[in-house]
Amino acid sequence: VLKICHHAAQNAASLYYYRITRAVGLATDQGGGAEAILNTNYYGPKRVSEAMLDLIDPDSGRIVNVSSGVASMWVRDQDAATKALFSNPDLAQEELDTAVQACVAAGNVGMGGGYGLSKAALSALTLVQAKMWPKLKVVSLSPGFIDTPMTHGFGARLTPEQGCVAPLRCLFGDVTSGFYYGSDGKRSPLTCTRDPGTPEYQGEAVPSPAVYNS
């Protein structure tokens, strides 16, 4: 994929993309451990962003990181310092990478042998990129637990069409750079889960589960 991105960048000097969406993912350990999941779900989107950056419209372009509700589930269960780091709008790339590696070393990788950490890291990367590239709109989202051949039998209930609500808003609607959007297309907290249909997150420092969980 990275080679394709570099090829596109080299052969489209006059072309601008308005939106780049990354919806790749490993949900479970396929034999490579947490590092393999992180390489796909966190480092992969990071590399694609950097490779394609010069092709994104500098004034109105968007980067949409497809994260997961599992991201906020993982952050919710962390200590106060880790919660603060993974939701810090002034987070630096080096700080995030160090924290991710520390979590791997400690075995604190969440469900799926690393899926939880990888998606939390992707949502945190959104904060980093929003600060690095202030003229772009960089957002992350959860599409919801969509019933597809990959998730069949695991309790997924959303149709593929329902899974398009958040991506369509983030691609074409009114959004704020750095924000994370739930599967219903509404802003959601990073440090606790928010169920669709509950009030939209208002940015409070300590979101209450009683408000955002039905």
Q: Which residues are catalytic?
A: 115
What type of residue sits at position 48?
A: V
Residues 6+ apart with CB under 8 A from 31: none
Measured in degrees and rounded to the nearest 5, phi and psi for residue 19 equal -145, 135
Q: Tell me if 200 sits within 8 A of 180, measured CB to CB.
A: no
Alpha helices in the chain (DSSP H): 2-10, 33-38, 44-52, 69-76, 80-86, 93-106, 115-132, 165-172, 209-212
What type of residue sits at position 120?
A: A
Question: How far is 117 from 114, CA to CA, in rounded Å?
Answer: 5
Task: Give the C-alpha distances (Å, rounded to integers) separating 177 from 23, 29, 62.
Answer: 18, 31, 9
Question: How far is 158 from 67, CA to CA, in rounded Å?
Answer: 16
Q: Tell me if 146 sits within 8 A of 161, measured CB to CB.
A: no
Both tokens of 9, joined, read: 């960048």
Residues 6+ apart with CB under 8 A from 67: 119, 122, 123, 126, 140, 141, 142, 180
